[in-house]
Chain A
Amino acid sequence: MPLYLSPRIGPTLQSALDETVLMAQLSDALGSPLGVILPQQLTANVAAFRSVFSDHRLSGQIYYAHKANRSSALVRELAATDAGIDVASLAELQHALGAGFVPQRVMATGPKNEEFLWLCARTGVTVSADSVGELAALATLVTDWSLPRVRVMARLSGFTSAGVQFNSRRSRFGVSAAAVSEVLDVIEKRADALDLVGVAFHLDTIGLPEKAVALEGCLGALDECRRRGLRPWSVDIGGGFGVDYLADGAQWEQYTSALTEAVLGRRAPLTWTGHGYGLRAEGAHVRGSLNLYPAHRPVSGPAYLDRLLRTASPEQRRPLGTLLLDNMYDLHVEPGRALLDQCGLVLASVLEVRDEANGDTIVRLDCNARDVSLEEHGVLMDPVVVHRTTPAAPGPVGVYLFGNLCLEADLITRRKVFLPSRPCAGDLLAFVNTAGYLMDFSATQALRQPIGRKVALYRDDGAWRWCLDEQYWPVHHRAEAP
């Protein structure tokens, strides 16, 4: 029985996929792999987050975490909405400013070098500071270059809880919440250069309780600010809202159960060389834990934000959203992956399909594991076969997907992938819903293999149109014929 992990495909993405002739033409003209971006979907995703804000009567900004995709079309389309952008490098900041973001809509996060800090201060974007040292360096730049006061957020980490200890992974980033007074000392001393507008955190976890502890910790830090007469008005809770990748939760359950059995040797391996994705057998028992993205996540994206805001704070026992509102605080979020849900796909062309002597079927693709980094990010999700002609032999087939690098490890996924019909050379595989981190985050030019081009695919005048990603601007309405 084939173990499918069918991707969740929304109506817009489906309608793009249905353009099989266009897909084949694009791939023929621009090569494989090809990133296909659907910028207009982003507008709908921003609106879905906005409606959670308005349901909770909260003000604040949605900052798209640019790092999730290098595309210009996405950033430019976003500039046309009311959302903001979270930039984490000098080049991302330049990109955002060039796409039309005024500095008020930009938040700079992550580790920063001096050039990045200088451009932040010079243009007046908000700096989410990672450390006391960064604040001091920023203040020095402001003085040395006679720049206006910079709006700063203090990023905190290492929150503690009373009663139950919610452990979080240790973070490289942010100032320990217990040491917030050191941050405030610097801010007060350098009030001429630094204007504290809020506090921030970003936790790399799917766990709500940890985030609830962190959010309440931020409220405590803001209270400390008010005690000192400072008046910051916002909390930035970072990203990590997640995406539901799979159409059918039952498939995910069947697959992971089968994987456990395969690891225990109770059924034929489901993976290349019996890889266990974190599970291993010790005698008759499995040890370890599944090191995979929870691809079936019914509560994700805006719904996850809503759930968090409805969660009672551990100490004050009032919903976190209500507490934010009670305190008149703005809520900022920095979703990356979740804002790019359904915003793109990667097309890869099939070079060869062959059957090995041991019964395995191999599909060799003209792209590599860095071009569709499903495996690196632990997302298990099937590609969609785009046939050029009606398949000769219909019926499911289990295949391994090989990449185009001369490297033993270059499998697009170590998992045997079940396809509803056998592809043949020249057909395309569409890796859908890969815009967030899975498209170009890790792409490299190893072996001088080209990094895939990107096109923007958009609806205009009731039809799909396309252009190169870097050519895309939201003003694509062609002039009407006279």
Chain B
Amino acid sequence: MRFENMTDAIGNTPLVRIDPAVHGLRNIDLYAKMELLNPFGSLKDRAAWNMARPLLTQAVERGDTVVELSSGNTAKALAVIAGMHGLTFKSVTNRMKVAEIKDLLLLLGAEIDELPGQAECLDPTDTDDPLTRMYHRLAGSGDGYLHTDQYFNELNVDAHLNGTGPEIVKDLDGRAPDYFIACVGTAGSSTGVAAALRQHNPDVSVVGLVAHKSDFIPGIRTIDEVHEVGLFDPGVYDTVETITADDAIDGLLTLVRRCGTLAGPTGGGAYQGAVRHLRAIDAQLTERHTAVFIVCDRVESYMSYLRERRPELFGRPPRRNSLRTVTDADVRQAATMDVAEAERWIAERRGLVVDLRSPFAYQALHIDGSINIVDELFAELLHGGLPFGHRQPVLLVCPVGEKSARYAALLTRMGHPDVRSLDGGIIAWRDAGAELVRD
């Protein structure tokens, strides 16, 4: 396969059978449309390219900024496409909730604009929601923006009507599946694919999956929000069902651990939602049926999302010399020094003063002659052993003398014979009128 551009590699993704031993359906062949194999990482590559392509020549002439309301895959694809054409991309979002995607967008050179949060003191005269205001801003400034408008742009649907859908039919030897299951974000993919499949078989049963109301599944809408989507037409779906974040993660684990498919949460949700929906039908069937669901994107971008919700999946062995192993009894044994004694000790240059506060705070004001190792870094060093010799007396300093006492206890346990903590910390030092300097 030889291409001129990465955009030429968009689409033509494989349709892969899920092992019946995994899903347990006896009369239904379940296939996954592997949209995670698109070049920029997701199903949204298709929509982004289809929406942007016709406008690019003009945009390049005028040097427009590409703008989209997206905190995920559409933003990612558009950022790449904009970059390939020398344009800037700006993503406007309600809340950029997935850290990895935010970082990736910044890496790609995108600008990210966060809309303001809800007012604490309600202003009832303020009827304009931030979204409406953004649309006004884009319209008001007129030129200068290429707004792809994915929630309302029919080209988003067309990308799937002419691409994703027909590919599925072709791979099923010219037949549409009996069931099609997809998560709904902008509704572009489910609407487009459903229309293409129904051209071959008007009886295809289409299941739309949305997030349970109080849940957050990155990339798709909740049951209420879906009504705000311009492309969403309830008539497209035979049923709209909800999935929880837990469902999505359960499905994701099945796909990544058992199916060789490194799917993100919506792929997992689609799998879980599909099996749940089909299980009841499967029991009644007497002939073989076919079902297809979409795996939208990849798991790697969601590590923080997974870690937050399933910390146990990331259990690591405890590290040695961890501060968490210090008991309150250890701390009470730790040697301390009050401010007056510390002033003498420092004046006589009896040892090393380590300030555990943040570099910013240290640089603003500190005890003359102290060195700064912020606590996080100090903790990291200690996992490897003592960062100074046994014969080096040490005085530890922190804000109120609690953290320094814990570290003093830990160092003592690690075998250091002469480590002490400044009693009351640097706040007591300041309050006693002792000298603080800045360089």
Asked whether A378 lies within 8 Å of B117 as measured between CB atoms, the reply is: no
Asked whether A326 lies within 8 Å of B357 as measured between CB atoms, the reply is: yes
Of A141-149, A164-172, A463-471, the stretch lying at the interface with chain B is A164-172
| Chain B contacts for A18, CB-based, 8 A | none
Asked whether B124 lies within 8 Å of A326 as measured between CB atoms, the reply is: no
| Chain A contacts for B224, CB-based, 8 A | 256-257, 260
Tell me how far the C-beta of A289 lies from the nearest C-beta in chain B, rounded to whole angstroms: 4
Q: Which residue of the partner chain, among B111, B121, B228, B358, contacts A316 with CB atoms under 8 Å?
A: B358
Which residues from 395 to 426 on chain B have a C-beta closer than 8 Å to any C-beta of chain A? 399-400, 402, 426
Task: Say if the beta carbon of B360 comes within 8 Å of chain A.
Answer: yes
What is the size, in residues, of chain A's interface with B at 8 Å between Cβ atoms? 53
Asked whether B214 lies within 8 Å of A249 as measured between CB atoms, the reply is: yes
Task: Say if the beta carbon of B361 comes within 8 Å of chain A.
Answer: yes
Asked whether B126 lies within 8 Å of A291 as measured between CB atoms, the reply is: yes
| Chain B contacts for A396, CB-based, 8 A | none
Asked whether B102 lies within 8 Å of A164 as measured between CB atoms, the reply is: yes
Asked whether B213 lies within 8 Å of A163 as measured between CB atoms, the reply is: no
Measured between alpha carbons, how far is A257 from B222 in the docked complex, in Å?
10
* Complex: chain A residue closest to B124, CB-CB: A376
Measured between alpha carbons, how far is A260 from B102 in the docked complex, in Å?
31
Tell me how far the C-beta of B399 lies from the nearest C-beta in chain A, rounded to whole angstroms: 4
Task: Say if the beta carbon of A189 comes within 8 Å of chain B.
Answer: no
Asked whether B120 lies within 8 Å of A206 as measured between CB atoms, the reply is: yes
Q: Which residue of the partner chain, among A59, A206, A284, contacts B117 with CB atoms under 8 Å?
A: A206
* Complex: chain B residue closest to A328, CB-CB: B427
Which residues from 243 to 299 on chain A have a C-beta closer than 8 Å to any C-beta of chain B? 249, 253, 256-257, 260, 264, 278, 284-289, 291-294
Task: Say if the beta carbon of B230 comes within 8 Å of chain A.
Answer: yes
Interface string of A142-186 (1 = CB under 8 A from B): 000000000000000000000111111100000000000000000
* Complex: chain A residue closest to B427, CB-CB: A328
Tell me how far the C-beta of B328 lies from the nearest C-beta in chain A, rounded to whole angstroms: 16
Measured between alpha carbons, how far is A210 from B116 in the docked complex, in Å?
8
Task: Say if the beta carbon of A323 comes within 8 Å of chain B.
Answer: yes
Tell me how far the C-beta of B393 lies from the nearest C-beta in chain A, rounded to whole angstroms: 24
Q: Is the interface of A mostly helix, strand, loop or mixed?
A: loop
Task: Say if the beta carbon of B22 comes within 8 Å of chain A.
Answer: no
Asked whether B399 lies within 8 Å of A57 as measured between CB atoms, the reply is: yes
| Chain A contacts for B358, CB-based, 8 A | 316, 318, 322-323, 326-327
What is the size, in residues, of chain B's interface with A at 8 Å between Cβ atoms? 50
Q: Which residue of the partner chain, among B96, B120, B122, B400, contacts A291 with CB atoms under 8 Å?
A: B122
Tell me how far the C-beta of B70 lies from the nearest C-beta in chain A, rounded to whole angstroms: 14
Measured between alpha carbons, how far is A441 from B215 in the docked complex, in Å?
35
Task: Say if the beta carbon of A325 comes within 8 Å of chain B.
Answer: yes
A-B contact count (CB 8 A): 131
Interface centre among B118, B132, B234, B357 (most CB of A within 10 A): B118
Task: Say if the beta carbon of A360 comes within 8 Å of chain B.
Answer: no
| Chain A contacts for B124, CB-based, 8 A | 291, 376, 378
| Chain B contacts for A166, CB-based, 8 A | 114, 116
Task: Say if the beta carbon of B258 comes within 8 Å of chain A.
Answer: no
Asked whether B118 lies within 8 Å of A205 as measured between CB atoms, the reply is: yes
| Chain B contacts for A206, CB-based, 8 A | 117-120
Task: Say if the beta carbon of A204 comes within 8 Å of chain B.
Answer: yes
Asked whether A291 lies within 8 Å of B112 as measured between CB atoms, the reply is: no
Tell me how far the C-beta of B67 lies from the nearest C-beta in chain A, rounded to whole angstroms: 13
Measured between alpha carbons, how far is A378 from B112 in the docked complex, in Å?
30
Q: Which residue of the partner chain, among B112, B118, B213, contacts A165 with CB atoms under 8 Å?
A: B112
Which residues from 215 to 235 on chain A have a C-beta closer than 8 Å to any C-beta of chain B? 219, 222-223, 226
Measured between alpha carbons, how far is A351 from B323 in the docked complex, in Å?
66
| Chain A contacts for B132, CB-based, 8 A | 287-288
Interface string of A305-331 (1 = CB under 8 A from B): 000000000001010001101111000
* Complex: chain A residue closest to B365, CB-CB: A226
Given contacts A164-B112, A165-B113, A326-B357, contact A204 B364 (CB under 8 A): no
Which residues from 376 to 423 on chain A have a C-beta closer than 8 Å to any C-beta of chain B? 376-378
Asked whether A57 lies within 8 Å of B116 as measured between CB atoms, the reply is: no
Interface string of A198-209 (1 = CB under 8 A from B): 000000111111
Task: Say if the beta carbon of A242 comes within 8 Å of chain B.
Answer: yes
| Chain A contacts for B122, CB-based, 8 A | 291-293, 376-378
Tell me how far the C-beta of B93 lies from the nearest C-beta in chain A, rounded to whole angstroms: 9
Asked whether A167 lies within 8 Å of B116 as measured between CB atoms, the reply is: yes
Measured between alpha carbons, how far is A205 from B362 in the docked complex, in Å?
32
Q: Which residue of the partner chain, among B95, B230, B361, contacts A327 with CB atoms under 8 Å?
A: B361
Asked whether B120 lies within 8 Å of A288 as measured between CB atoms, the reply is: no
Asked whether B214 lies within 8 Å of A327 as measured between CB atoms, the reply is: no
* Complex: chain A residue closest to B228, CB-CB: A286
Task: Say if the beta carbon of B131 comes within 8 Å of chain A.
Answer: yes
Measured between alpha carbons, how far is A163 from B106 in the docked complex, in Å?
7
| Chain A contacts for B357, CB-based, 8 A | 326-327
Task: Say if the beta carbon of B227 comes within 8 Å of chain A.
Answer: yes
Task: Say if the beta carbon of A240 comes within 8 Å of chain B.
Answer: yes
| Chain A contacts for B346, CB-based, 8 A | none
* Complex: chain A residue closest to B214, CB-CB: A253
* Complex: chain A residue closest to B96, CB-CB: A164
| Chain B contacts for A316, CB-based, 8 A | 358, 360
Given contacts A223-B360, A323-B360, A378-B124, contact A289 B114 (CB under 8 A): no
Task: Say if the beta carbon of B438 comes within 8 Å of chain A.
Answer: yes
Tell me how far the C-beta of A152 lies from the nearest C-beta in chain B, rounded to whole angstroms: 21
Measured between alpha carbons, how far is A239 from B112 in the docked complex, in Å?
27
Q: Which residue of the partner chain, among A207, A288, A323, contacts B127 with CB atoms under 8 Å?
A: A288
Interface string of A26-70 (1 = CB under 8 A from B): 000000000000000000000000000000010100000000000
Which residues from 116 to 147 on chain B have a C-beta closer than 8 Å to any C-beta of chain A? 116-122, 124, 126-127, 129-132
Measured between alpha carbons, how far is A383 from B114 in the docked complex, in Å?
37
| Chain B contacts for A163, CB-based, 8 A | 106, 112
Task: Say if the beta carbon of B430 comes within 8 Å of chain A.
Answer: yes
Asked whether A57 lies within 8 Å of B400 as measured between CB atoms, the reply is: yes
| Chain B contacts for A337, CB-based, 8 A | 120
Which residues from 321 to 379 on chain B have a C-beta closer than 8 Å to any C-beta of chain A? 357-358, 360-362, 364-365, 374, 376
| Chain B contacts for A293, CB-based, 8 A | 122
Asked whether B131 lies within 8 Å of A289 as measured between CB atoms, the reply is: yes
Asked whether A328 lies within 8 Å of B426 as measured between CB atoms, the reply is: yes
Task: Say if the beta carbon of B25 comes within 8 Å of chain A.
Answer: no
Measured between alpha carbons, how far is A265 from B130 in the docked complex, in Å?
25
* Complex: chain B residue closest to A203, CB-CB: B120
Measured between alpha carbons, how far is A165 from B102 in the docked complex, in Å?
12
* Complex: chain A residue closest to B118, CB-CB: A206
Measured between alpha carbons, how far is A168 from B118 in the docked complex, in Å?
10
| Chain A contacts for B117, CB-based, 8 A | 205-210
* Complex: chain A residue closest to B121, CB-CB: A204
| Chain A contacts for B376, CB-based, 8 A | 318
Tell me how far the C-beta of B273 lies from the nearest C-beta in chain A, rounded to whole angstroms: 19
Given contacts A316-B360, A325-B399, contact A242 B113 (CB under 8 A): no
Tell me how far the C-beta of B238 lies from the nearest C-beta in chain A, rounded to whole angstroms: 17
Q: Which residue of the partner chain, among B116, B118, B360, contacts A219 with CB atoms under 8 Å?
A: B360
* Complex: chain A residue closest to B111, CB-CB: A165
Asked whether B227 lies within 8 Å of A260 as measured between CB atoms, the reply is: yes
Given contacts A278-B129, A377-B122, contact A328 B115 (CB under 8 A): no
Known A164-B102, A287-B228, A326-B360; 13 more pairs at CB < 8 Å: A57-B402, A163-B112, A205-B118, A206-B117, A206-B119, A226-B364, A260-B224, A292-B122, A316-B358, A323-B361, A376-B122, A378-B122, A378-B124
- Name 23 A/B residue pairs within 8 A (Cβ), A-sorted: A57-B400, A57-B402, A163-B112, A165-B113, A204-B119, A207-B116, A207-B118, A264-B227, A278-B127, A285-B227, A285-B230, A285-B232, A286-B227, A289-B129, A291-B124, A291-B126, A318-B358, A326-B360, A327-B361, A328-B426, A328-B427, A377-B121, A378-B122
